[in-house]
Structure 1
Amino acid sequence: VEKLMSKNADHAEQPVVNYLLAAEAAQQRGDEARANQHLERAAELAENDPIPVEITRVRLQLARNENHAARHGVDRLLEIAPRHPEVLRLAEQAYIRTGAWGSLLDIIPSMAKADVGDEEQRDSLQRQAWIGLMDQARADQGSDGLKAWWKNQSRKTRQQVPLQVAMAEHLIECDDHDTAQSIILDGLKRQYDDRLVMVIPRLKTNNPEQIEKMLRQ
């Protein structure tokens, strides 16, 4: 494929496309030097439309696990093509691999507008990003970092049961059982949910009566 695409690429109707396909074919063979050659030739020919070249560059970087380089690449691409479906798909990969959870949350509305993934996939991504941010808050400042992060979230976010469960579990791991209990109680007051109840046996609080009273109601 690579030879076919690159052989007469300069004289083809779409020389840039041919070089980009040749670059990806070379990368699949594990020949990074040839892949780079084809990519740079495409870049020379594509002065007026750099987006396809930069998309391929990011694809190659992800294939090589050059994840931080890919992240910088998608950041630049999003500035010029914020709703390009392929750019958004690559951004999703790069942000997950580098733990750029805030950036991942930022692109989810654009993913919805560009029809990238379905609603269930985007909701799952959103939860993954929030839990990633929780992990970072806990790693940076323990229980205090978690509580500050939680306080900064919108009410709508704080009312999502999967996040309440994750938050309570993170707090229990930090030995902050009282705050974990208050989050579970807040969730159960809004509506009974087995996912919250399943966390209760792990709680070691000074006032278990509150939970017992709630469960009796």
Structure 2
Amino acid sequence: MSASKTTAERGSRGESLEPVVSFVVPARNEAEYIRGTLSSIVGLDTAYAYEVIVVDGGSTDGTADIAREYDVTVVSDGGSGIGPARDLGADYATGDWLAFVDADTRVRANYLTAMLGYVEAEGVAGASSACRITGPYRAKLMEATINHVFPRLELPILPGFNCFVRRDAYHDVGGFPNVPNEDTAFSRRLARSYDTGYCARALVESSGRRIADAGLTGTLWHYGRLDVERVRAGSRG
């Protein structure tokens, strides 16, 4: 396990500030996308201090080298899975809030300020935001499901590519489990103990590459199968 040291966002006079938020970005062979993701994060328009932790899952395409071009921490976990990768990033985090963003997701410039304003105003321990799924038009059904169905569930699902959670609450419920559809399992577990919500003022843009490759039916089948495996693994959330 190795890491390159990060620095927090600098203040107006150059002093180092303790991060309020820690972005955690799991990545495995994401050379095609990770520049856009990290550029969007380091380019945030905010006065809040934050840090970025990239957890490299044994990439062979230069993902880690690209990440090191940015002012971020790069940690290697050897490819143990998406849930453990997010957990490892959380272990390195020092911010009061954790922002889990996938390596093919870009955040809008107001994301951090809007999300912090929302969770503080609403008194919630976890949240997601509006999303836009790029790619083929059929990806819009997935986008609509995330934007309009997930928030209305009795136990709302906070998708792993865009999950904002208070660090103490994250650890209190055990973090992301190492099961299929780990974000569903985590979200349900979190919502049983804490209030969660969706911030409509913030927006992220995530890749619809799976839908482009497998089609909408194939993608729904993929996630449906993972959810069956999650339940069989004994993780109902």
- TM-score, normalised to structure 2's length? 0.23
Which protein is bigger by CA-based radius of gyration?
1
**Per residue, is there more helix in 1 or in 2?**
1
TM-score in terms of structure 1 length = 0.24
